[in-house]
Amino acid sequence: MDRDSISPDVIDSVPKEILEIIYPSKAKVDLGNILTPTQVKDIPTVNWSLRRSVGTSAPNITPYYTLVMVDPDAPSRQDPKFREWHHWLVVNIPGNDVNDGEVLSAYIGAGPPEGTDLHRYIFLLYKQQQKIKCDEPILGNNSGKRRGNFKIRNFAQKYSLGEPIAGNYFRAKFDNYVPELYKQLSGK
């Protein structure tokens, strides 16, 4: 993840573990591979190992996790004035079942503007110390409002998440699905 400057652009240090992310299109996220917005338009399946560190969790306590997907290159890598645009944010995920977590920001696929070249789409996973109560607005997938200038560092600090324990990312540039996504985000 370091080869594309994810650290220091988004996080301070690159997590050691890799998230497994597979889209319904069968596209698999693989440390910076290039996928199309069409391939990643639907919510992916995300998996991670539940290895327990010695002495960190009681054996019968289900750990909680936070999962985020951000684009630090909005509207472009050369002019990232909306860094980071968040595409997905789920907290209080019990174990590794994302579907049972609290969705703060509904999933929105990649939507790099035409002519902006490749964008990085970064998935990060944080292990929570406990279940958290968030005061963030709940965002649907029919608007882009309140998604720009999100900072996962600030969110992690606010909710005492520490550093991410796992991550992965892909890169994408404009394709013919992007105008459809923009229409969805305009509420039409």
Element (H, E) at 180: helix 178-185
- Predicted local distance difference test score (pLDDT) of residue 22: 98
Place of tokens 């069409």: 38
- What's the whole-model pTM score? 0.93
3-state secondary structure of 90: strand
User: What are 24's two structure tokens?
Assistant: 């319904």
The yes/no answer on whether domain 2-51+59-185 falls in CATH 3.90.280.10 is yes
- Predicted local distance difference test score (pLDDT) of residue 188: 60
- Predicted local distance difference test score (pLDDT) of residue 57: 53
| DSSP state letters, 49-80 | --PPPTTTS-TTPPPEEEEEEEETTSS-SSS-
Q: What is the CA radius of gyration of the chain?
A: 16
Mean pLDDT in order along the chain per 10 residues (188 residues): 85 94 98 98 93 53 94 95 96 96 98 96 97 96 94 97 97 97 87
User: What are 64's two structure tokens?
Assistant: 């909680």
Domain boundaries, the chain: 2-51+59-185
